[in-house]
Structure formats: structure tokens, C-alpha cells
């Protein structure tokens, strides 16, 4: 279950890669703009402002996120991206921080590139830090005897869940697109106690929280907290630097 309020705790930091992605889309007057994985809709609204003449289509797999987006004025639909098919007038597709959760998303990208009309834009961004300590220590802790049984069967992403920029560039070039791919590491300034733990609680730790009772979830957090503080030492001023690598791809269908 997604918690829109928790996700929005760091709304400004989470928004920056979205804007860096969308800036590279050079569509002038698209007919239909699609936001796959729209979350609470706060960023989807900026697409409507940029392309006010376009039909806006938005969807998310989380009922909680769809409800939050609708409350924000976005006509969001509950959907699984595996089932989504572009309409013939789809000129822009944005999927921001979504495909890392989707097994088989490389095949989806190939399919979408083949289904979109000539000249359409396909823009995606995924976190590229799945091998970083913020994720590695979670996997290590989950595999310990204390937690392995309770978390058996829980999907915890490894670093192979996403590609590097060249991997996506090769994939979409072979699918018939002109591709712009890059990566950026944002050195994020987090504040407060357990800063990195709070950050990943809204995203990476979501499957673990869903698998545990509230008591076990609090115990898991207590075990994880010192490991994250060791990997990301808080500064004397109460802030914590959190390097966060992101992988971007913007493709135009030929």
C-alpha cells in the first residue's frame, strides 16, 4: 500500500528529476499526454499547464494514489502499466520513478515504442541507486535469520531491476527511436533524525512494511536505523547528505 502523505514528505526533492526529465521533451502541441504512474497527481498537474491543449491521461496502480490524484483535480484511473495501450493520438508518454517496480518493463518499452505514432515522445526516469548502501543494507538485513522467515516471498529489488543509461539507449534505439539518455546524481540534503530511513520508508521499504505487522515493522526500522546512520553519517548540524543516482531516457519514435 502506498501512502501519498508519506510520499509527499519530500515533494520538492522527488519532483526535481521529473522536471529535469520533462524539460527534455521537445513536443510543441501534443494531442494526448499520458502520465503512467501519476502518484498523487502533484506533478501530473504541471503537464496540463505545459500542454493545456492536450488531452491529459493519468493512471496509477495504487488505489490510494489514484484517490489522492482525483482529490487534487486529476482524472486519474486505476491501471496496471502491463495492460496499458496507447491511443492513436498519444504524442507524449511520461513514466517517472515507476518502471523500477515493474518486472519485464524492458519489453513494455519495446512494445510502446512500436505502438506509438511517428514523432511521439517516450520519457522515463528510474532510480539508479539500487546498489547503493540505502538498498544493500536493507537486502542484507532482510536476509538475516531474524527476518528471513517473516519476509519470505517479499519482493525486494536488486540492482539488476533497472539498466544504466546506455542499456536503455540501446534498447530504444533498436526499437526505432532517437534517444537521449543520461544519469544524474543528486546530493540531497535531508534533515531530522533517521533521515535516510524516513526517505526510503515512502518508497523502497514499502513492500517490507506491507509484509510485516506493525510491531515487526517498528522492530525492523529499529534494526535498520543504525545501519543507515553508519552508511550515511548525520552531520553535526542535523542534516544528512544522501547521494541519489537517477537514470533518464527520452526517446522520440521515428
For 179-237, the DSSP string reads EEEEEEEEEEEEESTTHHHHHHHTTTTHHHHHHS-HHHHHHHHHHHHHHHHHHSPPPTT
The pLDDT value recorded for residue 159 is 85
Phi-psi group of 78: left, alpha or beta (phi > 0 → left; psi -120 to 50 → alpha; rest → beta): beta
pLDDT in tens, 17-57: 999 999 999 999 999 999 999 999 999 999 999 999 999 99
pLDDT in tens, 215-244: 999 999 999 999 999 999 999 999 999 999
The pLDDT value recorded for residue 9 is 53
Q: Counting beta carbons within 10 angstroms of the beta carbon of residue 44, is it exposed (0 to 12), middle (13 to 18) or buried (19 or more)?
A: buried
- Residues 230, 198: Cα–Cα separation, whole Å: 15
Q: SS3 of 102, please?
A: coil
Question: Which stretches within the chain are classed as H helix?
Answer: 4-7, 11-22, 44-50, 63-71, 105-115, 133-142, 145-148, 165-174, 195-201, 206-211, 214-231
* pTM of the predicted model over 0.75: yes
pLDDT in tens, 166-191: 999 999 999 999 999 999 999 999 99
- Residues 203, 17: Cα–Cα separation, whole Å: 15
pLDDT in tens, 124-159: 999 999 999 999 999 999 999 999 999 998 888 888
Contact 81, 108 (CB under 8 A): yes
Residue 5 has pLDDT above 80, yes or no: no
pLDDT confidence tier of residue 10, bands split at 50, 70 and 90: low
**What does residue 40 show for φ and ψ, rounded to 5 degrees?**
-80, 5
Q: Which residues of 140-149 are buried (b: 16+ CB within 10 A; e: fewer)?
A: ebbeeeebee
Beta-strand relationship, 177-191 and 239-253: antiparallel
Amino acid at each position: 500500500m502506498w501512502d501519498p502523505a508519506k510520499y509527499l514528505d519530500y515533494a520538492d526533492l522527488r519532483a526535481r528529476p521529473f522536471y529535469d526529465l520533462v524539460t527534455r521533451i521537445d513536443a510543441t502541441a501534443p494531442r494526448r499526454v499520458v502520465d503512467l504512474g501519476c502518484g498523487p497527481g502533484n506533478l501530473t498537474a504541471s503537464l496540463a499547464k505545459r500542454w493545456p491543449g492536450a488531452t491529459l491521461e493519468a493512471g496509477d496502480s495504487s488505489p490510494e494514489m489514484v484517490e489522492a490524484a482525483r482529490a487534487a483535480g486529476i482524472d486519474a484511473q486505476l491501471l496496471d502499466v502491463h495492460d496499458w495501450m496507447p491511443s492513436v493520438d498519444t504524442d507524449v508518454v511520461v513514466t517517472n520513478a515507476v518502471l523500477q517496480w515493474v518486472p519485464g518493463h524492458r519489453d513494455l518499452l519495446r512494445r510502446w515504442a512500436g505502438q506509438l505514432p511517428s514523432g511521439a515522445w517516450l520519457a522515463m526516469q528510474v532510480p539508479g541507486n539500487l546498489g547503493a548502501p540505502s538498498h544493500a543494507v536493507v537486502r542484507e538485513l532482510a536476509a538475516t535469520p531474524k527476518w528471513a522467515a517473516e519476509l519470505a516471498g517479499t519482493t525486494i529489488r536488486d540492482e539488476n531491476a533497472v539498466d544504466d543509461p546506455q542499456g536503455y539507449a540501446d534498447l530504444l534505439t533498436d526499437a526505432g527511436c532517437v534517444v537521449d539518455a543520461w544519469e544524474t546524481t543528486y546530493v540531497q540534503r535531508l534533515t531530522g533524525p533517521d533521515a535516510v530511513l524516513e526517505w526510503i520508508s515512502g518508497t523502497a521499504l514499502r513492500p517490507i512494511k506491507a509484509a510485516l505487522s506493525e510491531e515487526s515493522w517498528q522492530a525492523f526500522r529499529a534494526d535498520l536505523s543504525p545501519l543507515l546512520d553508519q552508511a550515511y553519517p548525520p552531520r553535526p548540524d542535523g542534516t544528512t547528505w544522501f547521494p541519489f543516482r537517477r537514470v533518464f531516457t527520452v526517446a522520440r519514435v521515428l
